[in-house]
A and B are shown apart, each in its own frame.
Chain A
């Protein structure tokens, strides 16, 4: 086995046992990049000094392992463009908190990964530098917006990766690429130095080969940051230890299976099988019916969440992109792509005088209903299950002429995202004909990431869908 195919956990084990070297690891990883990047378009930039940097941090916990980082994290050594021509060649004079913590723990940024421009999308097709292709089947999309980071893991072009999610941008590409993506509770991981999309929603998080890998990186990047006023002072636990926690007696709610768009679909069936599996492991599973109003033991339909999310996020986007005014970053506003323009216009409209009550204020009111609904549900349940995405990866080109592409793709993630809840994607089915994956989304209560990590790890152990899940060294 090549060293780039190892999980993070096994890489660290073999490095510390001196059974592999950083030379092996960097040689194999960069060979894979050289081999695959021309066709898959995963990385926008790579660091040729990465191996040297790795040697200087090999005594730290992450021992110099190669990390793929989404191109919206500000880094001093590599350009940061958020896949937009507006920031073509932009070199940030400062480093994001997350990548600073990554360095401090011994991780090395080997390259910046492609994404939907400004993180606007769920396909990477809105990238100004061309779409990334799904490593499992290059005729298909990797999902997005953290499509490059998810593809880097699927293609073994990095040991672990960083992504960011506003609503679905970690979990949906992880589902389509068959990897594990963890969206933390809003405020758990600092947003400082991550180019803002929807500021009240943005959550940076890890994308890895296994649940344990993701939990381990999560441990190193989480925690209070004095530079981010919305980051929580809550203490950070050893998330990795939760991997071995028993799920006996865990109360699990199964959601959205009765939604017209999901009923009887493979994605839904995969979740039903998962529910049965959890039951056999000693969990208490209950089906939660959909509702269009707040009622005990029901879950609000995701249909309204699409509207809420769209209005809130577009409003914040229109304001967040105002600083790229053509004066300071070298490129003027004509460099904005069609999707960014659409979002700026829609957001500007919904915040305008006379309309903000109708749209933005109303959306925030409905948002609080979702929060209430989840609070009620989490008084009865430990985790909630649903498909991550309504289906398999879609073919290249699918997002074109579909301005609401992402919102429909992420419809099952939006209600928990607008509520600030954490969630994790685990591969829940593999289609051997197309080589494509389905993903399951596990959502936990605020700050209870450990609960969802425990459930996700248990599922990973008991099922064959994670291709690295049984890796032994």
Chain B
């Protein structure tokens, strides 16, 4: 929780639920065969057809893979998968919504009742459902006229919505949850989940109650336009403080939708409850209900990769890594896969290096995930050999070099620490390239501190 509301949290408690939208990375769109690549398109409206433009007479046909991927995500989130599900029409007007309704899921989502386990506290998943994304509006000026242009490249991109129970009670908890969820989504491989581009969107529903109360507050505020984990925390902190100030004066915050303004760090009202829309949901008559066989659900589950939490457990138990290192190495599926490939290369080689050494090397040297595992092992072996020279030799070399560089030493003493790397280089040269740079550096600084200038 942020600095400011820590002062008041003795009397108040935030109650937060999250709604997260994730664009699936299927090859084609949700209800047509158009290419699903709105960010890669070099022109507007090139990945469109009668269906995603909502032309008269066009009909949607559901993307089977998108349904399977939603089920896969549901399984990663420990959800119950619905054997029977359906699409519904959510009717509303907006110029980026070609048909005047969005095909979504109302009362029978594909997945329900899951959870994400977190040290800060478990967060229950209410539902995971599948829908379509809208087009995009571009407000601009052409020939001196203010115009709004519509780009339908994104129209009909498969979009998954994940809704949680209001189980989150601090901005840090919220941040930890969305990070964990992001990681899970990335592990399943169903989405790029790029927050900046908007292929993953975070919307907290925030309210505040008196500490000790158990019932839900009689209002909630939804915050939109958040495109980073950092801003989730900031937006929640801002809102929670705002609500506490209002509650302290006996007022109830207005139920509304607010937008986060990142350069000012504030939220602003967008829509109040009075204009709350009635979406007039009804079953989508153009798409028959979805029936999933137990067999298919089981089959989809076999594609579920190991989740970060169990990989951490494996790393600590099997490889003897520290919890901290394991957590760093599983941060992204790419990093985790790379490390596992390196461990495999290590086992195949005859060298006597422990996975812990490998882990430290990969983490400290920030080895890119694209590096060939063989190359990583070879470099590690070399570095290890290089550093395998007796410390006395390093100490002797440092003493010799420093003695010949009085100006550099006095510069360092006077605060020009930039000379340090110059001195490391000289020692390395003296040792014919051997010796670990870190060790040499430490020996130099120790030497300078322990000898009087």
Instruction: Give the residue name and chain of the A residue nearest to B100 (CB).
Output: A322
Contacting pair B55 A229 (CB below 8 A): no
Which residues on B sit within 8 Å (CB–CB) of A198? Answer: 285
**Cα(A360)–Cα(B55), bound, Å:** 26
B445 on the interface (CB 8 Å rule)? no
Given contacts A92-B55, A229-B61, A229-B62, contact A323 B285 (CB under 8 A): no
Within 8 A of A (CB), among B97-154: 98-101, 150
B381 on the interface (CB 8 Å rule)? no
Instruction: Give the residue name and chain of the A residue nearest to B99 (CB).
Output: A323
21 contacting pairs across A/B (C-beta < 8 A): A72-B57, A82-B56, A92-B56, A93-B50, A192-B57, A192-B58, A193-B50, A195-B56, A228-B286, A229-B288, A230-B59, A230-B286, A230-B288, A316-B285, A318-B280, A319-B282, A322-B100, A322-B101, A323-B54, A348-B280, A356-B282
Contact segment of B88-96, B179-187, B205-213, B346-354 = B88-96
Contact of A87 among B50, B56, B61, B93 (CB under 8 A): B56
Contacting pair B282 A351 (CB below 8 A): yes
A326 smallest CB distance to B (angstroms): 10
Contact of B91 among A80, A226, A227, A351 (CB under 8 A): A351
Contacting pair A325 B100 (CB below 8 A): yes
B287 on the interface (CB 8 Å rule)? yes
* Interface positions of A (Cβ within 8 A of B): 72-74, 80, 82, 87, 90, 92-94, 96, 191-196, 198-200, 226-230, 315-316, 318-319, 321-323, 325, 327, 348, 351-353, 356, 360
B293 smallest CB distance to A (angstroms): 17
Given contacts A199-B285, A229-B286, A352-B280, contact A322 B99 (CB under 8 A): yes
Which residues on B sit within 8 Å (CB–CB) of A90? Answer: 56
Contacting pair B59 A191 (CB below 8 A): yes
A196 smallest CB distance to B (angstroms): 7
Which residues on A sit within 8 Å (CB–CB) of B288? Answer: 229-230
Interface of A is mostly: loop
Instruction: Give the residue name and chain of the B residue nearest to A364 (CB).
Output: B283
B243 smallest CB distance to A (angstroms): 27
B319 smallest CB distance to A (angstroms): 49
Interface of B is mostly: loop
Contacting pair B56 A227 (CB below 8 A): no
B351 smallest CB distance to A (angstroms): 57
Contacting pair A94 B59 (CB below 8 A): no
**Cα(A192)–Cα(B51), bound, Å:** 10
A324 smallest CB distance to B (angstroms): 8
- 8 closest cross-chain pairs (CB), A and B: A322-B100, A200-B285, A351-B280, A199-B285, A193-B57, A74-B57, A353-B278, A195-B56
B60 on the interface (CB 8 Å rule)? yes
Which residues on A sit within 8 Å (CB–CB) of B50? Answer: 93-94, 193
Instruction: Give the residue name and chain of the A residue nearest to B101 (CB).
Output: A319
Contacting pair B61 A227 (CB below 8 A): yes
Instruction: Give the residue name and chain of the B residue nearest to A192 (CB).
Output: B59
Contacting pair A325 B61 (CB below 8 A): no
Known: A195-B56, A196-B56, A228-B61. 19 other contacts (CB 8 A): A73-B57, A80-B56, A94-B50, A94-B55, A191-B59, A194-B57, A196-B57, A227-B59, A230-B59, A230-B286, A315-B282, A319-B280, A322-B100, A323-B56, A323-B100, A325-B95, A325-B100, A351-B280, A353-B280
Contacting pair A228 B59 (CB below 8 A): yes
Contacting pair B56 A229 (CB below 8 A): no
A84 smallest CB distance to B (angstroms): 10
Contacting pair A92 B101 (CB below 8 A): no
Which residues on A sit within 8 Å (CB–CB) of B59? Answer: 191-192, 227-230
A182 smallest CB distance to B (angstroms): 21
A193 smallest CB distance to B (angstroms): 4
Contacting pair B57 A96 (CB below 8 A): yes
Within 8 A of A (CB), among B52-95: 54-62, 89, 91, 93, 95
B277 smallest CB distance to A (angstroms): 10
Which residues on A sit within 8 Å (CB–CB) of B55? Answer: 74, 92-94
Which residues on A sit within 8 Å (CB–CB) of B93? Answer: 322, 325
A16 smallest CB distance to B (angstroms): 34
Instruction: Give the residue name and chain of the A residue nearest to B92 (CB).
Output: A322
B262 smallest CB distance to A (angstroms): 30
A340 smallest CB distance to B (angstroms): 14
Contacting pair A195 B57 (CB below 8 A): yes
A371 smallest CB distance to B (angstroms): 15
**Cα(A327)–Cα(B91), bound, Å:** 17
Which residues on A sit within 8 Å (CB–CB) of B58? Answer: 94, 192-193
Produce 1/0 per residue, B350-374, CB < 8 A to A: 0000000000000000000000000
Which residues on A sit within 8 Å (CB–CB) of B99? Answer: 322-323
A470 smallest CB distance to B (angstroms): 39
A106 smallest CB distance to B (angstroms): 23
Which residues on A sit within 8 Å (CB–CB) of B89? Answer: 319
B60 smallest CB distance to A (angstroms): 7
**Cα(A352)–Cα(B280), bound, Å:** 5
Which residues on A sit within 8 Å (CB–CB) of B56? Answer: 74, 80, 82, 87, 90, 92, 195-196, 323
B246 smallest CB distance to A (angstroms): 28
B58, B93, B98: residue with the most chain A Cβ atoms closer than 10 Å = B58
Instruction: Give the residue name and chain of the A residue nearest to B49 (CB).
Output: A94
**Cα(A82)–Cα(B101), bound, Å:** 21
Contact of B282 among A92, A230, A323, A360 (CB under 8 A): A360
A431 smallest CB distance to B (angstroms): 38
B275 smallest CB distance to A (angstroms): 14
Which residues on A sit within 8 Å (CB–CB) of B280? Answer: 318-319, 348, 351-353, 356
Which residues on A sit within 8 Å (CB–CB) of B95? Answer: 325, 327
Instruction: Give the residue name and chain of the A residue nearest to B53 (CB).
Output: A328
Which residues on A sit within 8 Å (CB–CB) of B60? Answer: 229
**Cα(A96)–Cα(B57), bound, Å:** 8
B274 smallest CB distance to A (angstroms): 14
**Cα(A270)–Cα(B189), bound, Å:** 67
Which residues on B sit within 8 Å (CB–CB) of A94? Answer: 50, 55, 58
A145 smallest CB distance to B (angstroms): 15
Contacting pair B57 A322 (CB below 8 A): no
A165 smallest CB distance to B (angstroms): 16
B59 smallest CB distance to A (angstroms): 5
**Cα(A356)–Cα(B89), bound, Å:** 13
A44 smallest CB distance to B (angstroms): 15
Contacting pair A319 B57 (CB below 8 A): no
Which residues on A sit within 8 Å (CB–CB) of B287? Answer: 229-230
Contacting pair B57 A92 (CB below 8 A): yes
**Cα(A191)–Cα(B286), bound, Å:** 9
Within 8 A of A (CB), among B263-296: 278, 280-282, 285-288
Which residues on A sit within 8 Å (CB–CB) of B62? Answer: 229
Given contacts A94-B55, A193-B57, contact A319 B286 (CB under 8 A): no
Which residues on B sit within 8 Å (CB–CB) of A195? Answer: 56-57
Instruction: Give the residue name and chain of the A residue nearest to B94 (CB).
Output: A325
A77 smallest CB distance to B (angstroms): 15
**Cα(A323)–Cα(B97), bound, Å:** 8
Which residues on B sit within 8 Å (CB–CB) of A194? Answer: 57
**Cα(A194)–Cα(B377), bound, Å:** 64
**Cα(A315)–Cα(B284), bound, Å:** 11
Instruction: Give the residue name and chain of the A residue nearest to B56 (CB).
Output: A195
B92 smallest CB distance to A (angstroms): 9
**Cα(A82)–Cα(B57), bound, Å:** 11
Which residues on A sit within 8 Å (CB–CB) of B57? Answer: 72-74, 80, 92, 96, 191-196
